[in-house]
Amino acid sequence: MELLSYSPITQAISVVLLSLLIGSFLNVVILRLPVMMFRSWKRECQEVDSLPAHPALEDLDKPYNLVTPNSHCPGCHSPVKAWQNVPILSFLLLKGKCGHCQRPIGLRYPAVEAVTALLSLALVWFFPWGWPLVAMLVFTWLLVTMSVIDIDHQILPDQLTLGLLWLGLLVNSQNMFTDLHSAVWGAIAGYLSLWSVFWIFKLVTGKEGMGYGDFKLLAALGAWLGYQSILMIILLSSVVGAVVGIAGILIMGRDKDIPIPFGPYLAAAGWIAALFGDDILQYWLPVA
């Protein structure tokens, strides 16, 4: 630990290696947590038939969680060996295919690992070595997980959003990123702001423009960064969402009636605000 505190290069290498391993685990969470939720819902309401098809939903008596069953190929169900589970390197050695049945492995897995490592590496340059860096690493890992789950299933699990919210209040009880007063009001303002937009939009159009998970995610971001950041996060996420949505329609021919998950844009805006929020506020609201 003493060596890490005095060597930025060692810090960077350590964070990248750790984050690659975490990114590999995030892939498990991204894949399994929604299915765990679907299984729970199906147990509670056996008549529900609108859940997405998945082999794990066919036999609810078999355990399915973040540990069980072991990692395996979704095609041939061959277990993934330890050397085949090394982040990014195994994907390259296997040439992007299952070592047993040669079924292609989705680029999603190495992409999540790489993005997790790169975002984590960026934090090393913005935060001092210590608890603020550790907290921000966890913050980033949770945002990556929620973003991909929302892209896949258009849900933001309460286990993640509420966990992030309470963790934000906990770290700011020590004034780590903002004071506790700002954190509490940030959580309140984050939730109520999107909640208000939701109901205004629904009353005007009769449609639901976003999900309740978005309210909770913005509340969590407010708990981490304070109420002062809420407007900035909303504006940043709206701009990014609009640009990506319009590009998807014009370039990829995406149907404009297909819902676009808002969680990834909130997460991206929150991460940007965590790193550059003070600079952005000083640029737009310069102190006389």
* pLDDT value of position 47: 53
What are the domain boundaries of the chain?
1-126, 128-288
Mapped onto helix, strand or coil, the DSSP state of residue 247 is helix
* pLDDT value of position 174: 92
Tens of pLDDT, residue by residue over 206-222, are 877 778 899 999 999 99
Tens of pLDDT, residue by residue over 170-195, are 999 999 999 999 999 999 999 999 99
Confidence band for 256, pLDDT divided at 50, 70 and 90: low
Q: Are 52 and 158 in contact (CB under 8 A)?
A: no
CA 1 – CA 17 distance, rounded (Å): 16
Q: Are 105 and 96 in contact (CB under 8 A)?
A: yes
- Predicted confidence (pLDDT) at residue 58 exceeds the cutoff of 50: yes
Tens of pLDDT, residue by residue over 89-126, are 888 888 888 878 888 888 888 999 999 999 999 999 99
- Predicted confidence (pLDDT) at residue 1 exceeds the cutoff of 60: no
Q: Are 166 and 224 in contact (CB under 8 A)?
A: no
What are phi and psi for residue 264, nearest 5 degrees? -60, -35
* pLDDT value of position 71: 83
* pLDDT value of position 209: 72
Confidence band for 288, pLDDT divided at 50, 70 and 90: very low
Mean pLDDT of the chain: 85
- Predicted confidence (pLDDT) at residue 257 exceeds the cutoff of 70: no
Tens of pLDDT, residue by residue over 4-54, are 665 677 788 888 989 999 999 999 999 999 988 888 877 766 655 566 666
